[in-house]
Amino acid sequence: MKIRYGMIGGGEGSFIGAVHRKAAALDSRFELVCGAFSSCPDKAKRSGTALGLSADRCYGSFADMMEAERKLPPAERMQAVSIVTPNHVHFAPAMMALDLGFHVIIDKPIAFSLEEAELLHAKVQETGLVLALTHTYTGYPMVKEARHRIAEGGLGAIRKIFVEYPQGWLSTFLEADGNKQAGWRTDPSKSGAGGATGDIGTHAANLAEYVSGLHITQICADINIVVEGRKLDDDAAALLKFSNGASGCLIATQVAAGEENNLKLRIYGEKGGCEWSHTDPNTLLWKPLDAPVQVLRAGTGYLCEAAQNGLRLPAGHPEGYLEAFANIYVSFAQAVHDHATGTYSGEEAYDFPGTADGVRGMRFVEGMIASGKSDQKWTPFG
């Protein structure tokens, strides 16, 4: 049985809404049955009918949608909601969904503030429902392979972590030209305390922690607004300390003119290192201390079970962003199914980012901003 889901946001002109719908559809585990696709009721209903939904399940607001859906027979109503709105419209619909018994999958960052993130984490623990967070890059098979090999001790004790996320699309003052994506991402009333820090820095920090198995414990950050007139940071860098004593460096910038989406992670331990880049996501470089570099490729039989489970095609057939996104949806679908059958044991048992990751993401944003403003060299990171 497919999981019936509704969507909040993601209407006409939305980039991320279309990505979520394609990812959800890729493995035939979900059926979109309703939506509140815009804060403008006319646009919301127009967007829904364009997606083939019946007019009576295209709602003018998320509150209307959830109140109406819970009154439908159990076999018809939505079971989960996908929230793909700007950051300031994450908390209210997620909290309402959980209160009414609906599972949630939500775009990152989880909320507008750390306080909201912690409230959502507590609500999930209270209700026992499923909440997944789409930190997309954790869905790549070769990222999972790196995580597995490090957890198995392949690099020994981790000593150094470099993670960089350069983009160039905000090198000019796009928000002044009516660019929708630039507009809300650089508006503190919609994005929250962090610009580049919240938009892509959270991805970088999450990836470093996910693959290494370590937690960031201290931050020494430099936060900049490079483009004149911009209200939020578009450039950030930080020195990091990790839970085992390892050190690291993180870069998150959206003013690296000429760059597209060049996320890269390098991790080094006492036995060697590894490297993964979003520009070649089907490759993992494994670098032993005393042997030649190994080029590991997606689709091959020597990969771990988690990597194999995230693949749909044989070697030499590239898989990318949509498939990584879909892997999170597949894991979310399994958790929702297990919840319905009474076998769900909490988000820790599933390979998708959850509310704990969401809380750490918001702590990262607030810690980066606080460190950037402080004269103190190191800022603790909980």
CATH code at position 17: 3.40.50.720
In the structure encoding, which two tokens stand for residue 181, read together? 């994506």
Residue 39 pLDDT grade (very low, low, confident, very high; cuts 50, 70, 90):
confident
Taking residues 74-89, report their average pLDDT. 96
Question: Could you tell me if 232 and 266 lie in one domain?
Answer: yes
Question: Could you tell me if 208 and 133 lie in one domain?
Answer: no
Give pLDDT tens digits for 45-63: 899 999 999 999 999 999 9
Residue 99 has what pLDDT? Answer: 98
Residue 306 has what pLDDT? Answer: 96
Q: CATH number, domain at 192?
A: 3.30.360.10
Question: Could you tell me if 270 and 243 lie in one domain?
Answer: yes
Is the pLDDT confidence value at 290 over 90?
A: yes
39-53, 87-101, 103-117, 271-285: segment of lowest average pLDDT: 39-53
29: left (phi over 0), alpha (psi -120 to 50) or beta: alpha
What is the rounded CA–CA span in Å between residue 179 and residue 329? Answer: 29
Residue 105: beta bridge partners? 82, 132
Is the pLDDT confidence value at 382 over 80?
A: no
- Side chain identity at residue 108, one-letter code: K
Say how many domains are in the chain: 2
pTM equals 0.96
330 in a domain, yes or no?
yes
- Burial (Cβ within 10 Å: 0-12, 13-18, ≥19) of residue 359: buried
Backbone φ and ψ of 323, nearest 5°: -65, -40
Domain that holds residue 174: 138-313+362-373
Is the pLDDT confidence value at 381 over 90?
A: no
Torsional sign, CA 373, 376, 377, 380? negative
In the structure encoding, which two tokens stand for residue 71, read together? 């009154």
